[in-house]
C-alpha cells in the first residue's frame, strides 16, 4: 500500500518503521482522519514530538499550546465556518496586522494563500493537530465537535479541561434548530439532485439525509441504482457508488457490496470493505464467505441493533463510530464512551439495550 508524503517524512525521521506506516495508512483508509489523528489514536507518538516533526516538514511553525487555550472569538468573522473547514484553517486572533490561523497538517496551503491574496490579508499560520483544529472549529463557530475528536482531545488535554473548553462549542439555545419536520414531497427530489450534482461536502450530507428516508420509494430506487453500478466495468464508477452507499447506509445494499469484496481492482475491494465496516459496525476481513454468513444471520434485524452489538467490538474505532452514529440517529446518550474500562462500557451498553427494548424498537422499527 502506498503511503503519504507526511508518513514517508516521519519514517525518514525514524519515528516509526515502514511497516507501521502501512498499518497507519490502512487504518486511515478504513476510518478516515488525518495521519496525525491515527498516530495519536494508536498511541504511537507524543503530540509534541509529532507536531514538531510535522512543522519541520510543512514549514509552518507549531502553535504554542497556551495560544490555543484562549482563541480570540472576535477573529472568527474574518473567515466563515464553511471556508474554514474547506481550507483547514481557523482564525484564532489578530496581531500586528496579521490574521493568526490554526491550520492542520493536511490543510490546502495553496488554497489558503490564494484566499488571503484575494482579500489582501496578511496571515500568520500555526500548525496544530487535526483534533485541536476540529476543537477550535467548534469553539470559534459554536458547532458541535465530533465525538471522535472529543475523545482524542480528552487524552491530549485531560477530560476536565476538555469539557470546560468545548462548552463554548455548544450552540446557543436561542439559535438551536427545531426538530426537522416530515419532509415535503419535493424535498426528496431536491436531496436526490444535490446528492448527484452537488460539491463533495453537500453530496455527503444529502446522501445522509436520504438515508433517513429509505422508506420513500424514490430513495429505494436510487439505492438500487447505486448497487447496479457496482458491477459495471469502470472501477471509478464503482468506487464512487460505494462512497455514496456508505453515506446512504441502506442495509439492503449489503449483498451487492459483499459481491465486490474480491474485486480484481484493489481500490474497489478496499472501498467495499470500508463501506461494509461503516454499515455493519464490524470488520470481518476481505473474504465474501464470512460476510455472507454474517448477512444470513443479521439481515432480519434492524440496523440499530447491529450498532448496539458494535459497542462491544474489540476494535475501539468501531466502538467509537457505532456510539457516534447511535447518538446521531436517536438523540439518546446513556453514558457510553468507547474507551471506558470494559465493565463500564458494558454497563452503558446494557442501558442502550434496555432503552431499545422498552422505547427504541417501537420508535425506530
pLDDT of the chain, 365 residues: tens digit per residue: 567 888 888 888 888 889 888 888 888 876 778 889 888 888 888 889 998 988 888 889 998 887 787 888 777 788 777 788 888 889 988 887 788 999 998 888 888 888 888 888 888 999 999 999 988 888 888 877 777 788 888 888 888 888 777 776 555 444 334 444 444 445 788 888 888 876 666 777 788 888 888 989 999 999 999 999 998 889 999 999 999 999 999 999 999 999 999 999 999 999 999 999 999 999 999 999 999 999 999 999 999 999 999 999 998 889 988 988 898 888 888 888 888 889 989 999 999 999 999 999 998 87
| 282 and 228 share one domain | yes
* The pLDDT value given to residue 230: 94
> In terms of residue numbers, what domain contains 331?
301-365
Q: And the C-alpha cell for 59?
A: 514549514
Q: What is the pLDDT of residues 48-87, one digit of tens each?
A: 999 898 888 888 999 888 778 788 877 778 877 778 888 8
Give CA 11 to chain center in angstroms. 25
Is position 239 within any domain? yes
Inter-residue contact 246 to 256 (CB < 8 Å) = no
* Rg for the chain, CA atoms, rounded: 22
Q: And the C-alpha cell for 221?
A: 430506487
Q: How far apart are the first and last CA of the chain?
A: 41
| 213 and 277 share one domain | yes
| 203 and 145 share one domain | no
Inter-residue contact 133 to 152 (CB < 8 Å) = no
Is position 177 within any domain? no
Task: Give the chain's length.
Answer: 365
Domain boundary among 241, 263, 296: 296
Strand order in the sheet with 98-103: 89-95, 98-103, 122-127
Domain boundary among 296, 328, 356: 296
Nearest to 141 by CA among 166, 115, 164, 110: 166
Q: And the C-alpha cell for 21?
A: 506506516
Is position 85 within any domain? yes
Is position 178 within any domain? no
Is position 179 within any domain? no
Is position 180 within any domain? no
Helices (DSSP H) in 142-260: which residue ranges?
A: 147-157, 159-166, 185-197, 200-211, 217-229, 235-248, 254-258
Give CA 342 to chain center in angstroms. 24
Domain boundary among 134, 169, 204: 169
| 117 and 192 share one domain | no
Nearest to 272 by CA among 326, 335, 229, 218: 229
Q: What is the pTM of this model?
A: 0.56
* The pLDDT value given to residue 168: 64
* The pLDDT value given to residue 162: 81
| 79 and 49 share one domain | no
| 113 and 163 share one domain | yes
CATH number at 111 reads 3.30.300
Please tell me the chain's helix, strand, coil percentages from 3-state DSSP, rounded to the nearest 5. 65, 5, 30
Is position 349 within any domain? yes
| 245 and 197 share one domain | yes
* The pLDDT value given to residue 170: 58
Helix or strand or coil: residue 124? Answer: strand
Q: And the C-alpha cell for 300?
A: 432480519
Which DSSP state fits 61? P
| 198 and 139 share one domain | no
Phi-psi region of 127 (alpha: psi -120 to 50; beta: other; left: phi over 0): beta
Residue 237, C-beta contacts closer than 8 angstroms, at least 6 positions apart? 229
Is position 18 within any domain? yes
| 253 and 276 share one domain | yes
| 290 and 340 share one domain | no
* CA–CA gap between residue 205 and residue 214 (Å, rounded): 15
* CA–CA gap between residue 363 and residue 5 (Å, rounded): 48
| 292 and 356 share one domain | no
Helix or strand or coil: residue 36? Answer: helix
| 189 and 163 share one domain | no
Inter-residue contact 116 to 101 (CB < 8 Å) = no
* The pLDDT value given to residue 200: 64
Number of folded domains in the chain? 4
Which DSSP state fits 340? S
Amino acid at each position: 500500500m502506498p503511503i503519504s508524503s507526511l508518513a514517508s517524512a516521519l519514517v525518514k525521521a525514524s519515528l516509526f518503521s515502514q511497516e507501521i506506516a502501512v498499518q497507519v495508512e490502512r487504518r486511515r483508509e478504513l476510518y478516515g482522519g488525518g495521519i496525525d489523528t491515527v498516530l495519536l489514536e494508536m498511541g504511537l507518538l507524543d503530540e509534541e514530538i509529532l507536531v514538531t516533526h510535522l512543522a519541520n516538514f510543512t514549514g509552518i511553525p507549531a502553535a504554542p499550546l497556551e495560544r490555543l487555550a484562549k482563541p480570540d472569538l472576535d477573529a472568527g468573522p474574518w473567515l466563515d465556518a464553511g471556508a474554514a473547514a474547506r481550507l483547514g484553517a481557523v482564525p484564532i486572533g489578530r496581531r500586528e496586522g496579521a490574521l493568526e490561523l490554526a491550520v492542520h497538517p493536511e490543510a490546502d496551503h495553496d488554497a489558503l494563500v490564494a484566499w488571503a491574496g484575494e482579500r489582501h490579508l496578511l496571515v500568520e499560520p500555526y500548525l496544530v493537530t487535526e483534533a485541536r483544529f476540529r476543537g477550535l472549529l467548534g469553539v470559534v463557530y459554536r458547532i458541535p465537535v465530533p465525538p471522535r475528536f472529543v475523545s482524542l482531545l480528552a487524552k491530549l488535554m485531560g477530560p476536565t479541561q476538555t469539557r470546560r473548553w468545548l462548552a463554548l462549542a455548544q450552540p446557543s439555545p436561542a439559535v438551536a434548530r427545531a426538530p426537522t419536520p416530515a419532509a415535503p414531497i419535493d424535498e426528496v427530489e431536491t436531496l436526490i439532485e444535490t446528492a448527484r450534482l452537488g460539491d463533495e461536502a453537500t453530496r455527503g450530507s444529502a446522501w445522509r439525509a436520504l438515508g433517513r428516508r429509505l422508506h420513500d420509494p424514490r430513495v429505494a430506487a436510487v439505492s438500487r441504482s447505486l448497487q447496479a453500478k457496482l458491477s459495471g466495468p469502470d472501477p471509478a464508477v464503482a468506487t464512487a457508488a460505494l462512497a455514496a452507499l456508505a453515506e446512504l447506509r441502506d442495509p439492503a445494499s449489503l449483498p451487492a457490496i459483499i459481491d465486490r469484496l474480491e474485486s480484481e481492482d484493489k481500490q474497489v475491494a478496499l472501498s467495499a470493505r470500508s463501506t461494509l465496516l461503516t454499515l455493519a459496525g464490524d470488520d470481518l476481513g476481505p473474504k465474501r464467505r464470512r460476510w455472507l454468513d454474517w448477512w444470513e444471520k443479521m439481515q432480519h434485524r434492524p440496523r440499530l441493533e447491529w450498532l448496539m452489538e458494535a459497542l462491544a467490538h474489540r476494535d475501539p474505532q468501531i466502538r467509537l463510530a457505532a456510539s457516534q452514529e447511535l447518538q446521531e440517529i436517536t438523540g439518546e446518550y446513556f453514558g457510553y464512551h468507547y474507551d471506558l474500562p470494559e465493565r463500564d462500557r458494558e454497563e452503558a451498553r446494557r442501558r442502550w439495550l434496555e432503552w431499545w427494548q422498552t422505547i427504541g424498537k417501537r420508535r425506530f422499527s
